[in-house]
Amino acid sequence: MFESLSDRIEGIFHRLRGRGKLSGADVDATLREVRLALLEADVNVGVAKELLARIRERAVGSEVAESLTPAQQVIKIVHDELITTLGREPAALNRPAGWPHTILIAGLQGSGKTTSAAKLAHHLAKQGKRPLLVAADLQRPAAIDQLEQLGERIGVPVFVDRSGKPAKIAKAAKKEAGRNRNDVVIIDTAGRLHVDRDLMAELSGVAKASQPDEILLVVDAMTGQDAVNVARAFLAEVPLTGIVLAKLDGDARGGAAISARAVTGCPIKFAGLGETIEDFEVFYPERMASRILGMGDVLGLIEKAEATWDNEKAEEAARKLTEARFDLCDFLEQFQQLRRMGPINQLLGMIPGLGSQLRQAQAQISDKDLARVEAIIRSMTPAERTNPKLISGSRRRRIATGSGTNAEAVNRLLRQFEEAQKMMKMIAGGGMPAGLAGLAGPGRAAGGPAAGRRGRRR
C-alpha cells in the first residue's frame, strides 16, 4: 500500500544524503517535497500540515545543525514524528471490567468487518483464549453464513439466533459464554453502505445490552480519506476504543492509515494485511513508520517466521544441507513453509534497504512463479524428487503436463537445483572452486593449486 509513498520519500532522502551541512533553504525544499508526497498519498491536509510543522521545528534547530550527519538526522526526525502521528506505542486491548471480555466490532458494510471479527478471534485463540463469535448482523443474512464458515475453519464456536433481535442476541451470547467458559465474546454487528440513524440506533442498542469492554471500528484502508470520515462519524455517535485497519495489502495510497489516529484520537489496534485468516496483527506504529520510509520491518519478518516455521523440520533441513543430502523433497518442504509466511511482496517489503528495488524484485519473483515451481515439484514422483537424474525426456514432458507448465520450465528448475547441489557439496566438503582458490590470500587454500604455484615462483 505504501509503495508509491515510500519510493517518493526514499528519492527525497537519497538526494539529501549527498549533501554536507544543510541550510534552512535545504530543509524547506525537502519538507515541500515531503508535503507533496504525503498529500499525493491521500494523507489528511491538517495531519500533513501538523506533522511537517513538528518536523521543521526540530530540523532547523541545533539538533540538525550540530550533527555530523545532518541528512541522517533529518531522516531520523521524520521517522520519529511519523511514529508520533501513528501513535508511538502499540495499543493493547482494554482490560475487561468483568467476565467474559466483550468486544464489539462495528463498521460499514463491505469494510471487512465480519472477516476481521474472525481474524481477531483466531489471533486471541493463538494466545490461549477461548473466544466465542456472535452473529449479530441480521441485516445481511450472508454475514451469518460467512461467520459460521470462518468459525468452523478456525475452530471457534459461533452463537447464532436468526430469529432474534441484535441486542437480545448479544445478551444471550454472554450467558452462553458463561456456561461454556468462553473468556472472550466478539460480537459482529450490522453495517450499512453509509452511516445513518438506524445503524447507530441498532449499534447503541447492542452496546447497551452487551456492555462491551471494547468497541473496535473496522475501516477499509482502500477507501482513502473516506475511511477517516467514516471513523469520525462513528466516533460522534459511539464511544469507540480503537480502530482496525482492514485491507492494508491493497494498492491504495495509504493516507488513511497515517491520518486515522491523528484525526479521530482513537488508537489503531490491529491491521489486516491480507485475505487469509493469518493476515492479521497488532499495529506497531514504529514498524509501520519504518516500512513507509523504506526501512523494512525485520522484527515483523522474524515474528512471521517464528509463527509459521517448523523448527524441527528446519533443523533437519540444515543438517541435510551441511551433509549435501538436501533433495527436492526437502526443497518442497522449505518452500511450503516460506509460502505460509505470506505473499512474497509482503515479505520483500519487510526487508530493509530494498526500497525502490522492491518492484524490480517483485517483477522477477511473483507468487505465481512460486506456485509454478511448487506445481512442478509436486508433479514428480518421490523417486524423482530424491534423485532428479532419473528424469528423462519423457518424464520431463509428463511433469510439464502435470504442472501446467512446459519442458523448458522443468529444465530450468532442474538446472538451478543442480547448481545449488554443487554449491552445497562444496560447502559441506569445506573446499572452494579452483578458480576461487587461486584468488585466496596467503594462508588460505593451503596445499591447493595456487599454493603450489607460489612455491615454484619462490
Q: Say how far residue 306 (Cα) sits from the centre of its chain.
A: 14
Q: Which of 212, 246, 222, 218 is nearest to 231 (CA)?
A: 218
Res 323: pLDDT:
61
Pairing of strands 184-189, 280-282: unpaired
Boundaries of every domain in the chain? 3-86, 101-293, 307-429
Task: Provide the pLDDT for residue 5.
Answer: 78
Amino acid 456: pLDDT: 39
CATH T-level assignment (fold) for domain 307-429: 434 Repressor (Amino-terminal Domain) (1.10.260)
Could you tell me which of 268, 293, 253, 297 has the C-alpha nearest to residue 78?
293
| 3-state SS string for 219-244 | EEHHHCHHHHHHHHHHHHHCCCCEEE
Single-letter code of the amino acid located at 238? V
The class level of CATH for 101-293 reads alpha beta
Give the pLDDT confidence score for residue 441 in this predicted structure: 39
The CATH number of 3-86 is 1.20.120.140
Instruction: Print pLDDT tens along the chain (458 aa).
Output: 566 777 777 777 777 766 666 777 878 888 888 898 888 888 888 999 999 999 988 887 666 656 657 777 888 888 899 999 999 899 999 999 889 999 999 999 999 999 999 999 999 999 999 999 999 999 888 999 999 999 999 999 999 999 999 999 999 999 999 999 999 999 999 998 888 889 999 999 999 999 999 999 999 888 877 888 899 999 988 999 999 999 887 655 668 778 888 888 999 999 998 888 988 999 999 888 887 776 655 555 556 666 665 667 667 666 666 665 678 887 777 766 766 666 666 666 555 555 444 444 444 555 677 788 889 999 999 899 888 889 999 999 999 999 999 999 999 888 888 877 776 666 555 544 443 333 333 333 333 433 343 343 33
Q: How high is the pLDDT of residue 255?
A: 80
